[in-house]
Structure 1
Amino acid sequence: MPLIQVQLIENVFTPEQKQEVITKLTDAMVAIEGENMRSVTWVILQEVRSGEWGIGGRALTTEAVHALVSATN
């Protein structure tokens, strides 16, 4: 059965956004495999502490992600 694991930096997404991620990822699997997969598709969201996620040799923080989102809006 499908198991989708998503890692996020803590305190970036609201509970409502996390629910949307779960719903949309489940919907994507159902679109590929059929409605019978909905009840057996697992989605696990794991949060990583701010500063413990590195990109390009630098630690990424919650504040940096918020700044990035603000800059693109």
Structure 2
Amino acid sequence: MPFVQVQAIEGVFTEEQKREVIARITDVMVSIEGESLRGVTWVNFIEIDSGCWGIGGQPLTTEAVKAMQNGG
């Protein structure tokens, strides 16, 4: 029974996008392991508080990620 954990900063993904991530990751796992394991493939989407995730010693915020998404 595979368990996939996705972590992202809160407020970056909409509810619809999170559902899509979960569905697509499940599809990828099933394409590897077989359709019979779809019902027991777990995907856990965890949101981390803005500013509580650091890269290169600097906290990363929701606003910073959204700026990156927009090419800035």
**Are positions 1:61 and 2:71 aligned together?**
no
- Kindly provide the amino acid, as one letter, of the partner of residue 65 in structure 2: V
Partner of 1:52: 52
RMSD (CA atoms) = 0.9
Q: Secondary structure at the match of 1:29?
A: helix
Percentage of pairs with the same residue:
61
Runs of 4+ deviating beyond 2 Å: none
Structure 2: unaligned runs, 5 residues or longer: none
Question: How big is each residue's C-alpha offset from its partner over 1:7-53, in whole Å with a ceiling of 9 and x where there is no partner?
Answer: 11000000000000000100011000110011000000111000000
Q: Which residue of 2 aligns with 1:22?
A: 22
Gaps of 5+ in 1: none
Question: Partners in 2 of 1:71 and 1:25 — Cα distance?
Answer: 25
Whole-angstrom distance in 2 between the partners of 1:29 and 1:70:
30
Q: Distance in 1 between matches of 2:6 and 2:69?
A: 19
